[in-house]
């Protein structure tokens, strides 16, 4: 009787231990399932990350293949820009040279115009003095019987002596012209002698 009780208690103790082990095994299984679930999620996340990295790598490969083309385009654009800058610089230099040349031409033309005006003014003064002197010779020839021809050279030689008073002669010529306008053929040819201008003189 005592031995059966001992064996019965021992069996009960073993059953209790077995039940505890079963409970522990179930808990371990639950933990393992949770770990498997977490691991699966991590694997999926890793797979997605790997896919993203792969796509990024492909993009980088494509970008790397485009880099030489972009560099060639950039070099071509840089060369074209430098060429345009050189062309603009040359054009600017040519424009500056043309501007300087044109300025010199304008100054030369202006000086030539001033010289022409001065020459024309002197010529007008000289011709006015010649006309005045010729009229004086004509007036003198009316009272002189032995008259020699009045040439332009003689008139000019006398007019040069009186060139300093050309302004007064011009004023006199203008007043004389207002008072008595000369005939159209009276002073057309300065090489006409006093006898030809006064055919009725003795």
- Residue 11 in any domain: the answer is no
At residue 123, the pLDDT reads 76
Is 142 within a domain? yes
Residue 136 lies in a domain: yes
3 lies in some domain: no
CB 148 within 8 A of CB 188: no
Q: What is the pLDDT of residue 94?
A: 92
In a domain, residue 103? The reply is yes
Alpha carbons 105 and 111: distance in angstroms, whole number? 10
- Name the residue range of residue 67's domain: 55-202
Total structural domains in the chain?
1
In a domain, 24, yes or no: no
Tokens of 177: 């012209």
Q: Answer whether residue 202 is part of any domain.
A: yes
- What is the dihedral sign for C-alpha 100, 101, 107, 110? negative
pTM attached to this predicted model: 0.34
**First and final C-alpha spacing in the chain:** 207
Nearest-angstrom CA–CA distance, 152 and 193: 8
Task: Report the pLDDT value the prediction gives residue 154, as an integer from 0 to 100.
Answer: 52
pLDDT value for 87: 93
Max CA distance (Å), the chain = 207
Query: Consecutive 10-residue runs of the chain (202 residues): their mean pLDDT?
Result: 65 81 89 90 90 90 86 92 93 92 90 83 78 74 52 50 50 52 41 41 38
């Amino acid at each position: 009787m005592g031995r059966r009780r001992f064996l019965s208690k021992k069996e009960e103790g073993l059953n209790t231990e077995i039940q505890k082990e079963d409970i522990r095994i179930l808990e371990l299984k639950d933990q393992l399932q949770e770990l498997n679930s977490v691991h699966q999620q991590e694997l999926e996340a890793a797979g997605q990350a790997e896919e993203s990295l792969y796509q990024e790598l492909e993009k980088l490969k494509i970008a790397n293949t485009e880099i030489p083309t972009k560099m060639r385009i950039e070099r071509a654009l840089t060369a074209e820009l430098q060429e345009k800058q050189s062309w603009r610089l040359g054009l600017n230099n040519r424009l500056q040279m043309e501007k300087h040349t044109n300025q010199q031409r304008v100054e030369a033309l202006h000086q030539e115009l001033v010289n022409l005006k001065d020459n024309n003014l002197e010529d007008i003064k000289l011709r006015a003095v010649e006309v005045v002197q010729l009229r004086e010779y004509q007036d003198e020839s009316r009272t002189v019987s032995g008259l020699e021809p009045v040439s332009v050279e003689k008139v000019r030689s006398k007019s040069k002596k009186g060139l300093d008073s050309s302004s007064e002669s011009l004023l006199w010529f203008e007043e004389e012209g207002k008072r008595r306008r000369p005939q159209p053929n009276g002073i057309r040819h300065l090489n006409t002698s006093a006898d030809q201008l006064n055919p009725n003189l003795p």
